[in-house]
Chains A and B, each alone.
Chain A
Amino acid sequence: MNNMISRTLKDQFLTLELDRPHSSANVIDFDFFDALNQELDFLECHSEIETLYISSKKKGIFIAGADLNQFKKGMSIEEIQHLIRLGHDTFSRLRKLPQVSIARIHGICVGGGLELALACDYRIASDDKSTKIGLPEVTLGILPGWGGTTRLPRMIGLRKALFMILSGKQFNSSSALRIGVIDGIVKKEKLLTASISYSQKGKKVFPLFPFENHPISTMIVEYQARKNILKKTQGHYPAPLRALQVAVKGLRGSMESSYKLEEKAFLDLISDPISMNLVNLFFLTERSKRVRIEDIETPPVKVKKVAIIGAGIMGSGIAQWISSRKFNTTLKDIHPKAVGKGMAQIQKILQSGILRKTFTAVEARDTLDRITPVSSEIPMFHHDLVIEAVVEKLDLKRQVIKDLESRTRPDTVLASNTSALSINKIAEKMEHPERMVGIHFFNPVHRMKLVEVIQGEKTSNQTLTTTLEFVKKIGKLPVLVKDSPGFLVNRILMPYLFESVRLFDQGYSIEQIDSSLLAFGMPMGPLRLIDEVGVDVAQHVASDLLKRLENPFPETQLLQKMLEGNYLGKKSGSGFYNYPRKINPNLKILDYKSYPIASEYRDSDLTKMLVYLMVNEGARCLEESIVKGPEEVDFGMVMGTGWAPFRGGPMRYADTVGIEKIVQEMESYCGEKTPHFKPCNLLLEMASTGKQFFPQTASVVEHTPNDRNHGHQNAA
Chain B
Amino acid sequence: MNKDLYIIEGVRTPFCKMGTELMEEDAVSLGTFATKGLLAKTGLDPNWIDEVIYGCVCQPIDSANVTRIIALRSGIPKEKPAYTVHRNCASGLEALTQAYDKINSGAGDLFVVGGVESMSQVPFIYRPSAVKKFSALARCKTTISKCKTLASFRIGDFNPIIGLKLGLKDPFAAMNMGETAELLSSEFKISREEQDHFSLQSHHKAVKARKSLAEEILPVYFNKKIRSHYYCNRDNGPRENQNLSALAKLRPVFDRKNGTVTAGNASQITDGAVSLLVASEQAVKKHGLNPIGRLSSYAYSGCDPSRMGLGPIHAMNKLESKSKYTIKDADIFEINEAFASQVLACKKASQSEEFCKKILKRDRILGEIPEDLLNVNGGSISLGHPVGASGARLALTSIYELNRRKAKRALISLCIGGGQGGAAWIEAA
Contact = CB atoms under 8 A, between A and B. Distances in A.
- Say whether A and B bind each other: yes
Interface of A: 328, 330, 336-337, 339-341, 343-344, 346-348, 365-366, 368-370, 372-376, 378-382
Contacts of B221: 336, 339-340, 343-344, 373
Nearest to B225: A344
A344 B230 contact: yes
B43 interface: yes
B280 interface: no
A369 B223 contact: no
Contacts of A366: 73
Contacts of B276: none
Interface stretch (B34-42, B188-196, B367-375): B34-42
B235 to A, nearest CB: 15
B73 A381 contact: no
A382 B41 CA distance: 12
Interface in B16-33: 32
Contacts of B41: 376, 378
Contacts of B230: 336-337, 339-341, 343-344
A344 B39 contact: no
Contacts of B42: 379
B43 A372 contact: no
Nearest to B221: A343
A372 B222 contact: no
B222 A340 contact: yes
B254 interface: no
A378 B43 contact: yes
Contacts of A365: 73
B171 interface: no
Given A340-B221, A344-B222, A369 B231 contact: no
A130 to B, nearest CB: 23
B354 to A, nearest CB: 51
Contacts of B229: 340
B74 interface: yes
B39 to A, nearest CB: 7
B233 A336 contact: yes
Contact of B37 (A347, A370, A372): A372
B74 A344 contact: no
A347 to B, nearest CB: 4
B160 interface: no
A369 B75 contact: yes
28 contacts: A336-B221, A336-B230, A336-B231, A339-B221, A339-B231, A340-B221, A340-B229, A341-B230, A343-B221, A343-B223, A343-B230, A344-B221, A344-B224, A346-B223, A348-B224, A365-B73, A366-B73, A369-B74, A370-B75, A372-B36, A372-B39, A373-B219, A373-B221, A374-B37, A378-B40, A380-B43, A381-B43, A382-B45
A630 B219 CA distance: 50
Contacts, number: 63
Interface residues of B, number: 22
A365 B26 CA distance: 14
Given A330-B40, A337-B231, A343-B230, A369 B219 contact: no
B73 A369 contact: yes
Nearest to B74: A369
A382 B47 CA distance: 12
Contacts of A368: 223
A340 to B, nearest CB: 3
Top 7 closest pairs, chain A to chain B, by CB: A340-B230, A379-B43, A340-B231, A347-B223, A336-B219, A343-B221, A369-B73
A332 to B, nearest CB: 9
A433 to B, nearest CB: 25
A382 B42 CA distance: 11
A343 B37 CA distance: 15
A287 B221 CA distance: 41
- Candidate in A336, A339, A347 with the most chain B CB atoms within 10 angstroms: A336
A330 B40 CA distance: 8
- Candidate in A330, A337, A381 with the most chain B CB atoms within 10 angstroms: A337
Given A337-B231, A339-B231, A375 B36 contact: no
B219 A340 contact: yes
Contacts of B39: 372
Given A369-B36, A379-B43, 5 more contacts: A328-B75, A343-B222, A366-B73, A373-B221, A382-B45
Contact of A344 (B45, B73, B219, B223): B223
- Candidate in B41, B43, B75, B219 with the most chain A CB atoms within 10 angstroms: B219
A82 B36 CA distance: 62
Nearest to A379: B43
Nearest to A383: B43
Contacts of A330: 40
Contacts of B32: 369
A387 B390 CA distance: 38
Contacts of B219: 336, 339-340, 373, 375
A382 B43 contact: yes
A324 to B, nearest CB: 15
Contacts of A343: 221-223, 230-231
Nearest to B223: A347
B27 to A, nearest CB: 15
A330 B229 CA distance: 21
Interface string B213-247: 00000010111110001110100000000000000
A91 to B, nearest CB: 46
Interface string B62-93: 00000000000111000000000000000000
A286 B219 CA distance: 44
A375 B231 CA distance: 11
A339 B233 CA distance: 12
B10 to A, nearest CB: 14
A366 B40 CA distance: 17
A217 to B, nearest CB: 40
A341 B231 CA distance: 9
Contacts of B37: 372, 374
A381 B45 CA distance: 10
A347 B32 CA distance: 17
A409 B338 CA distance: 47
Contacts of A379: 42-43
B112 to A, nearest CB: 15
A372 B39 CA distance: 9
Nearest to B75: A328
A226 B69 CA distance: 52
A368 B75 CA distance: 11
A381 B36 CA distance: 16
A343 B226 CA distance: 13
A380 B42 CA distance: 10
Contacts of B75: 328, 369-370
A261 B352 CA distance: 105
A381 B44 CA distance: 10
A337 B36 CA distance: 18
Nearest to A382: B43
A613 B30 CA distance: 55
A380 to B, nearest CB: 7
Given A328-B75, A340-B221, A344-B223, A374 B40 contact: yes
A539 B399 CA distance: 53
Contacts of B223: 343-344, 346-347, 368
Contacts of B36: 369, 372
Nearest to A347: B223
Contacts of B45: 382
- Candidate in A336, A340, A382 with the most chain B CB atoms within 10 angstroms: A340
A372 B231 contact: no
B94 to A, nearest CB: 26
Contacts of A347: 223-224
A336 B218 CA distance: 10
Contacts of A374: 37, 40
A345 to B, nearest CB: 9
Nearest to A373: B221
Nearest to B230: A340
A210 B241 CA distance: 79
Nearest to A340: B230
A691 to B, nearest CB: 55
